Structure 1
Amino acid sequence: MTELRTPRLRLHPIDTAEGERIVGRRAGVGDDWAEDFPFDGDVLGVKGFLAATAAHGDRRPFGHYRITRIADGKAIGGIGFKGQPDNGCIEVGYGLAPSARGNGYAAEALAALLGLAAEHGLSRVVAETTGDNVASRRTLERAGFRHTDTNGDFFGYEVLLSAPSPSTPAR
């Protein structure tokens, strides 16, 4: 599976071995991580990826991606799909190491993931965050999501996708 690229980021699809290194917080040969990567939220997301992979096999392209900053080659977070598409819809989750926050990286990575979802014919992407996570809510809105509902402490968001035109190049 090819990695996704944005002007400032590479989104690399992880495999089980890399996922286990992230969960164990043990960089391997060739891993170049920011000092505060992986953080707790990323470990949690990768655990979900590993459980889904163990239960259902390789789910790419609807898996988990390591976010790497092109400028210095450091891994700074993760982003991925939670599960597989259902009736043209899929959920996403993301997180950045504290040192990488506040630079628009999460919205940039989300835009790349939305493009991938559209290329695979999906029509809707949803996400959820806590109401007190104002930064995440703003990130979702910058990436084109709109607030759809509130359930207790959780705020639901969605973005409706257009199918890519026939001239849209494949990744």
Structure 2
Amino acid sequence: MTEDLEALRPAPVLETERLLIRPFTAEELDAVAAGDRAEHFAEGFPSPEDMDFARESLLAGGYFFTESVYARMAIVEKESGQIVGTSGFVGPPIDAELEVVGSLAPAYRNLGYAQEGLAALLGVAFTDDAVSGVRASVPVDNAPAEQVLLAAGFVHRRSPGLETDYFLPRPG
């Protein structure tokens, strides 16, 4: 029952020094799924990964995938007002773990945005007492993403497949 109520909690609007991480509007989700460039989308957004996420969300029919606490959200650069990427969770906890996911348009990488967004998401993740840790899967050739995770305290965890798995246990 608690899990059901948690899934119904609306997605938070997270604010960092330079970013606003918020749910997508229906219009934005449609544009991302179509691969269209809206006026407030940064150059290089959406990525193919973002388009896949948006299409899957639309096929699933909505609310949970765009507006719940476990949603993947838009990363808005406060200074420009442009959407520069996505960040959030893959879904509700599985085996007491949340999986974090995100992407940034190429011109917005190496600016510290990934670290800011990840820190905000971890704050949300650990408000749920049922979450024992957060995981992330990274393609083996994505050293920048691995560096962000390691800097946040994640540790490498063995996993089968083409991705490297990282895990951050609940702070003690």
TM over 0.5: yes
Change in Cα spacing, 1:104 to 1:9, as seen in structure 2 (3 Å) is same
Equivalent AA in structure 2 for residue 74 of structure 1? Q
Measured in 1, the distance between the counterparts of 2:115 and 2:139 equals 17
Equivalent residue for 2:15, pick from 1, 5, 9: 5
Q: For residue 138 of structure 1, report the CA deviation from its aligned partner.
A: 0.9
User: Residue 124 of structure 1 contacts residue 158 of structure 1 at CA under 8 Å; is this kept in 2?
Assistant: yes
In structure 2, runs of 5+ residues without a counterpart are 1-9
- The TM-score with structure 1 as length reference comes to 0.82
Q: Indicate yes or no: 2:56 matched with 1:48.
A: yes
Give the corresponding residue for 2:154: 145
Question: Is 1:123 matched up with 2:132?
Answer: yes
1:69 aligns to what?
A: 77
- The answer to whether residue 111 in structure 2 is matched with residue 103 in structure 1 is yes
Task: Specify whether residues 147 and 48 from structure 1 end up closer, same or farther in structure 2 by C-alpha distance, changes over 3 A only.
Answer: farther
Secondary structure of 1:86's aligned partner? coil
Residues 87 and 94 of structure 1, relative CA distance in 2, 3 Å threshold: same
Q: How many residues of Structure 1 are paired with residues of Structure 2 in the alignment?
A: 161
Q: Counterpart in 2 of 1:83?
A: 91
Deviation for aligned residue 1:81: 1.0
For residue 54 of structure 1, report the CA deviation from its aligned partner.
4.6
In the TM superposition, structure 1's runs of 4+ consecutive aligned residues that sit over 3 Å from their partners are 48-59
- Within the candidate set 112, 127, 135, 2:120 is matched to 112
Higher strand share: 1
Contact 1:59 1:84 in 2 (8 A): no
> What is the root-mean-square deviation in Å for CA atoms of aligned residues?
2.3
Matches within 5 A, 1:148-159: 148-159=157-168
Asked if 2 retains the 8 angstrom alpha-carbon contact of 1:46 and 1:64, the reply is: no
- State, as a whole percentage, how many aligned pairs show the same letter: 30
Aligned partner letter, 2:153: G
Counterpart of 1:166?
none
Shift of 1:32: 1.2
Given the superposition, is the C-alpha separation of residues 145 and 77 from structure 1 closer, same or farther in structure 2, using an over 3 Å criterion?
A: same
Deviation digits for residues 108-151 of structure 1 (CA, Å, limit 9, x no counterpart) = 11111111111122221111011111111112112221111142
The range that moved more, 16-25 or 65-74, is 16-25
